[in-house]
Amino acid sequence: MSFEIVSSGFQHRQRTGTPLSQALKTGIVFGVLSLYLALVGVYLTFDKSWVVVNVLSMGRTLLFVVPLLAGVQFARLNRSQSRAVQLGGTLLVGLIVGGFTACLLPVILFGNLRVMFVALSSPLAKMLALGLTPVLGAAVLVAGSAAAALFGALLTVMSPTVRRPITVGLAALAVVALLQEVLQLILRGGGAAFSFITRGLFQYGGLTVRGAIIVFVAAALVSIVVARLRAPFKARFAELPPGAARFLRQAGIVILLAAIIFFPLIGGSFVAQVFLLVGLYALMGMGLNVEVGLAGLLDLGFVAYFAIGAYTIALLTADSPHALASMSFWAALPIAVLVSVAFGFLFGIPVLGIRGDYLAVATLGIGEIVRVLVLSDVAQPLLGGAQGILNIPSPAIGSFELATPTSLYFLTVCCLALATYFAFRVQDSRLGRTWMAMRDDEDVAQALGINLVKTKLLAYSIGAAFAGVAGAIFAVMLKSIFPHSFQLLISINILALIIVGGLGSLGGVIVGALVLIGLPELLREFGEYRFLLYGAVIVAMMRLKPEGLWPARIRRRETADA
Amino acid sequence: MEATADKSATPPAGGDLAGAPRARPGSGDGGMLGGLRKVKRFTFVDVVLWLLRIGVAFVVIGGAIGTLIKGRYEASQWVDFVVFGLTIGGVYALLALGYTMVYGILRQINFAHGDTMMAGAFSAYFAANYFKRNGMLESDAVIAMVVTVLVAMIVCTLVALTVERICYRPFRHVRSLAPLICAIGASFFIQHTFRAMYGSTVRSFPDTSWLNGDVSLLGGSMPVTQVLVIGSAAAAMLVLYLVVHKTRMGKAMRAVSEDRDAAAMMGIDINRVIVFTFTLGASMAGIGGILYMLVYKQVYFFMGFLPGIKAFTAAVLGGIGNIPGAMFGGIFLGLVESVGPALFLDGLGVPAPYQLKDAIAFTVLIMVLVFRPEGLLGERRAKRA
Amino acid sequence: MPDALLRTVNMTKRFGGLVAIDSLDLDVLPGTIHSVIGPNGAGKTTVFNCIMAFLAPDKGEIWFDGERIDGLTPDRVAASGISRTYQNLRLFRNVSAIENILVGMHLHLRTSWWSAVLSTRANREEEREAHREAERLLHFVGLRGRGDVLARNLSYGDQRRLEIARALATRARLIMLDEPAAGMNPRESRELMVFIRNLRDERGLTVLLIEHHMQLVMNISDRITVLDHGQKIAEGLPDEVKNDPVVVEAYLGTRKRHPAEHA
């Protein structure tokens, strides 16, 4: 029987009910979501940052974004209903969501749940009451929620020509507000012209009122202009000879890629550090994508190969009592890759006969055994135990040391480019087809003469090689390594990022890494909730968009078929 | 699965690319039934697997001999190990029941089961603290504990049913890795929800006078906690066994786990059976969570992970889908994990063998998945895929 | 009489207490269409599964072209020159039609994966040639121009054809077809009949066929083996088998077993 990685075809369709029952359901779902956000402390955490300084905090915005989304959802489900039903339903949805949230106020003020829920504190009460008295605040909260829901529904049903500028403007505002710290950092470094922009838009801690208006209006205008120009531009593009069109498209992609690749040069070392991490995760993602996305082998012990690459570099180059040699990084790198490959091969052998979900657990077990052994006193004399291995030198080209995040970032980009090219060629080759066949139906693949042992071990080994390179760079990035850096968490993160990008899709790996690793690093507010987010994202993607943000080639073709 | 490494044995002749038939090789193959050559080959995969078997056997036998010769442990210590193994094994068994029942019905691993247990342990912790503050934990211990257990069971059930609803129900008709990946996400989500709500500090079950001290039993003395844990686990399993074998719903459950489609055609409401199964499993996890908390005296967001994986190991050991098997597997794993480090590793001169307790459990997991995925107890539901 | 291409000797397969195949001796002569028929549950598909090494027979031997093949893994059985289709279509559903065929050609593609990475000339030429052959096979089974469609988006009949094309792509000498006419209308069955004859006459293949469609079986088979409860109850030319009272009884049953016949 085949194990399709991502479900396809049949999904349980939910029965649609009357508008009233849908309003109740939507209201309750989003109301519970709002309660959840309050309980895990999201509202309060985000209340510390501003969308517009001293006017609107992110927490308060979020408070109304939830009912707004509820309104959108309800309006989507009830497009065909009469205006009156839409209006009434949306109001009901907003009131329910607001009511749920407002219920927290008496709970905090009169109940005594603080022992259980740390987040239910008086600052939260103050925030929920919007700085007013509790009663008035609750009323405003509920009314505001209803208004937000109405606004959301209105956005959904209005004509796209009006909707697009508004949503684009709001989205731009949200992005600028979230990224304000990094943006200010970048702009400050950019000289007089940029500092003019900085002063115009920002003050310490975020956007000014004037800045917010400028961002919103500018983005909306751009969106209008783009919408106007799009049709004639498309027509022009269609008239071009196919060769030229393809050239233009490729040039566009190259420019976009170059912009992303060289962005850290402008962004300074903080941005470079973030991009370095993104690159390392993308490199590991490429490896896991070979195993899970192409060959259908769900490997939860993947972090082991990352650790093996890192430890090999440390043992071969570090200036530490545990070191076995004092090679240069460049000499040690191929060895690290080979060792990772060897372990990928070795760990692959026992699990050759295990399929599907059992395989996931078995590989998880292997990864955990590696971690426990590295941590233990048995391996302590060799690997340094919990204290890890320190003093790993930076790689050097001649006398130039790759010590800064920026230089290591470019090293990572080179490795990533190689890995991507490698994966790209392999996936369309005979081996890639074999993997896909095995993923779809192992027995049939074997009956067509495919040697499963060889095919599986190649997948494990190639996956391990990529992770080994990432581990090697990771070791010189931190200059010291500890077993605690190599937890199951990493395997799950990588799995999450390739799912978000789209299983089996090379572009998806990069997109996934940018979204799941890059964004939370840039947005400090998210830091605390990033793992929460990963869990939610995995579930949401599997349910709503199993093909990912950048679907693999084959899946895109399928949507073209339909 | 025997697989061969080299495929050069009978290379198909090149032939022309139009796909024309190959000429039959000369039929001078000296009598079909004449050659008694051995067909099955010994490949490097077999070599590695045999090395693995031999390695584990060496550790088990060599280590045991070494330890016994050294004689570092006294008889009473061995008794302690065994009793602790039974204690923790009982907890694993309770959790394993959840895996095994859900697997029987859905043919899916409920990856979030350990975290369900964690949620139960947390709620029990808060309930017990409430009773501690108003004094009932001392004065009306039985009522307080019954309520605490009920709270844990209810919370576990809510979590488990939500997971079923979100991660399993939508994928019920497709055979894919999607529900597993979804459940991995859910497991992560539950863990970090609790971390966000309660931080990553380790809390402990409130101290009570009746939990401390020893009871004398069969001429020796045992800590009250362990007696309590073993007793409760046994009682819970007995109740579960009766539910599954004596009630209508239990019969429906067994019918569905034999053949879902046939059961549906006989008028069994599959949804209700699945909900019932998750409820049963989660209730056991709730009790298991409390007992785990009593044994290890700690509650934190990641506490569900290790017992979860180990309980899954126990379920596979007993033959997944097999309820008495899960109980046996739990006890077996608990004993191996508790006695193993001293018995197998100490004798080999491994320093601080108890650090490797989890590695032993994971080795058992891998060995059973590789060599005996149908479990130690025979061949029920041996065929997968 | 020439040597058999495929020969099973005393092949037995049990599932628990049930004997699925009971001491079966089967000789498939080269260049023939050999059908295996029998009521449902007679063990026909189990025979295929044992030959293809999906199941290990409990007793007996399987010989193919003078080599003993029981105990091999399925990939090596395939490499020795046997290929099959499945009763319940088992295509690689998420892959395009032409890629399904290319996977089938795996056995006789020679260049390795690293030559694909380096994009060597040999690799590019082999790929080009392989695509060409795959197109030819698509054409042969009547799926010309549908190569880029995902297998699961093909119609049922087309999926059946694609599965046969994939089996042919291995360049096997023995093709085992498991109920290829299932779900086909009379016109399609007639086309299939011609198609199977072509496999034998034009491509010189040996065909082992499981089929319930009696007209088709009687028309094209060179030889027929009848199974019931895992035992061979008759074997011979179509006309001999058709009139064999044992076969008639196995199919229609005694009156005691099928009281409905009274009506």
Sign of CA dihedral A385, A388, A392, A395: positive
For residue B328, give both structure tokens.
Answer: 């046996």
Residue labelled with tokens 């129900």? B169
Res B40: pLDDT:
54
Q: Do A561 and C79 lie within an 8 Å CB cutoff?
A: no
Bigger pLDDT: A86 vs B71: A86
**% residues pLDDT > 70 (chain C):** 95
User: How many H helices and E strands in chain B?
Assistant: 13, 2
**Mean pLDDT across the stretch C198-217?**
88
- Min Cα distance B1 → chain C (Å) is 8
Computed on alpha carbons and rounded to an integer, the radius of gyration of chain A in Å comes to: 26
C103 at A interface, C-beta within 8 A: yes
- The three-point CA angle A253-A258-A261 to 5° equals 125
Q: Do A4 and C93 lie within an 8 Å CB cutoff?
A: yes
| Contacting residues of A for B4, CB less than 8 Å apart | 451, 453
B385: nearest CB among A356, A454, A532: A356
Contact predicate C109/C126, CB 8 Å: yes
pLDDT in tens, B96-151: 999 998 888 888 888 999 999 999 999 999 888 888 888 887 788 888 889 999 99
Domain boundaries, chain B: 77-343
- 122-161 in C: which are within 8 Å (CB) of B? 129, 132-133, 136-137
| Contacting residues of B for A6, CB less than 8 Å apart | 176-178
- 20-59 in C: which are within 8 Å (CB) of A? 52, 54
A446: nearest CB among C73, C96, C119: C73
C90 at A interface, C-beta within 8 A: yes
- Min Cα distance C186 → chain A (Å) is 29
Res B26: pLDDT:
34
Q: Is the pLDDT of residue C256 over 70?
A: no
How many residues in total does chain C contain?
263
pLDDT in tens, C8-65: 888 998 887 788 888 888 889 988 999 998 888 788 888 899 999 888 888 888 988 8
Task: Single out the residue of B119, B109, B120, B118 nearest to residue B184, CA to CA.
Answer: B109
Can you tell me the ipTM of this complex?
0.88
Res A191: pLDDT:
66
Q: Is the pLDDT of residue B3 over 50?
A: no
Q: Do B3 and A373 lie within an 8 Å CB cutoff?
A: no
Q: Which helix (H) or strand (E) holds B113?
A: helix B113-133
**Mean pLDDT across the stretch B247-268?**
84
Pairing of strands B220-223, B214-217: antiparallel
How many residues in total does chain B contain?
385
A7 at C interface, C-beta within 8 A: no
The region of weakest confidence among A373-377, B23-27, B354-358, C85-89 is B23-27
A484 at B interface, C-beta within 8 A: no
Measured CA distances, B95 to A106, B204, B279 (Å):
38, 20, 13
Q: Is the pLDDT of residue A271 over 90?
A: no
Reported as a pLDDT band with limits 50, 70 and 90, residue A338 is: very high
Looking at beta carbons, which pairs linking B237-245 to residues 24 or more positions away fall under 8 Å?
A: B237/B93, B237/B94, B237/B97, B237/B327, B240/B97, B240/B280, B240/B284, B240/B323, B241/B323, B241/B324, B243/B280, B244/B101, B244/B280, B244/B323
Residue type, position C263, single letter: A
Res B219: pLDDT:
65
Task: Single out the residue of C224, C155, C158, C226 nearest to residue C192, CA to CA.
Answer: C158
- Min Cα distance B177 → chain C (Å) is 15
Provide the number of CB pairs (under 8 Å) joining chain B to chain C. 78
Average predicted confidence (pLDDT) for chain B: 80
For residue A349, give both structure tokens.
Answer: 């052998």
- Min Cα distance B74 → chain A (Å) is 24
When the candidates are 1.10.3470, 1.10.4160, 1.10.287, 3.30.1370, the CATH number that belongs to B77-343 is 1.10.3470
A191 at B interface, C-beta within 8 A: no
Among C82, C117, C173, C174, pick the best mutation site for testing chain A contact (most A Cβ within 10 A).
C117
| Contacting residues of B for C204, CB less than 8 Å apart | 20-21
Q: Do A433 and C96 lie within an 8 Å CB cutoff?
A: no
pLDDT in tens, A281-315: 999 999 999 999 899 899 999 999 999 999 999 99
**% residues pLDDT > 90 (chain C):** 17
Q: Do A378 and B350 lie within an 8 Å CB cutoff?
A: yes
C90: nearest CB among A434, A444, A554: A444
Contact predicate A75/A9, CB 8 Å: no
Reported as a pLDDT band with limits 50, 70 and 90, residue B60 is: confident
Reported as a pLDDT band with limits 50, 70 and 90, residue B249 is: confident
Contact predicate B277/B102, CB 8 Å: yes
Res B20: pLDDT:
34
Reported as a pLDDT band with limits 50, 70 and 90, residue B286 is: very high
Instruction: Tell me whether residue A404 is exposed, middle or buried, using C-beta atoms within 10 angstroms of its C-beta: 0 to 12, 13 to 18, 19 or more.
Output: middle
C71: nearest CB among B25, B35, B40: B40
Among C48, C51, C106, pick the best mutation site for testing chain A contact (most A Cβ within 10 A).
C106
| DSSP string covering A17-72 | --HHHHHHHHHHHHHHHHHHHHHTTHHHHHTTSEEETTTEEHHHHHHHHHHHHHHH
Q: Is the pLDDT of residue C258 over 50?
A: no
Q: Which helix (H) or strand (E) holds C83?
A: strand C82-84
- Min Cα distance A332 → chain C (Å) is 23
**Mean pLDDT across the stretch B342-354?**
79
Res A15: pLDDT:
56
| DSSP string covering B218-267 | TTEEEEHHHHHHHHHHHHHHHHHHHHHHHSHHHHHHHHHHH-HHHHHHTT
Mapped onto helix, strand or coil, the DSSP state of residue A390 is: coil
Q: Is the pLDDT of residue C255 over 60?
A: no
| C-alpha span between A116 and A112 (Å, rounded) | 9
- Min Cα distance B180 → chain A (Å) is 7
How many residues in total does chain A contain?
562
Q: Which residues pair with A4 in a beta bridge?
A: B176
Neighbours of chain C (3+ CB pairs under 8 A): A, B
| Contacting residues of C for B19, CB less than 8 Å apart | 133, 136-137, 168-169, 171, 203
Residue of C nearest to A432 (CA): C113
Res B332: pLDDT:
93
pLDDT in tens, A211-239: 889 999 999 999 989 888 888 888 887 88
Bigger pLDDT: B22 vs A423: A423
Q: Is the pLDDT of residue B82 over 60?
A: yes
Q: Could you tell me where the DSSP H helices lie in A384-429?
A: 405-427
Residue of C nearest to B31 (CA): C66
The region of weakest confidence among A1-15, A325-339, B297-311, C244-258 is A1-15
**Mean pLDDT across the stretch B40-58?**
84
Q: Is the pLDDT of residue B18 over 70?
A: no
Q: Do B167 and A539 lie within an 8 Å CB cutoff?
A: yes
**Mean pLDDT across the stretch B256-283?**
86
pLDDT in tens, A512-561: 998 888 888 877 667 778 888 888 988 988 888 888 888 876 544 444 44
- Min Cα distance B7 → chain A (Å) is 7
- Min Cα distance A561 → chain C (Å) is 8
Res A243: pLDDT:
81
Res A290: pLDDT:
93
Residue C129 CA, distance from chain mean position: 26
Res A397: pLDDT:
83
Report the half-sphere exposure of A220 (CA within 13 A, side-chain side).
Answer: 16
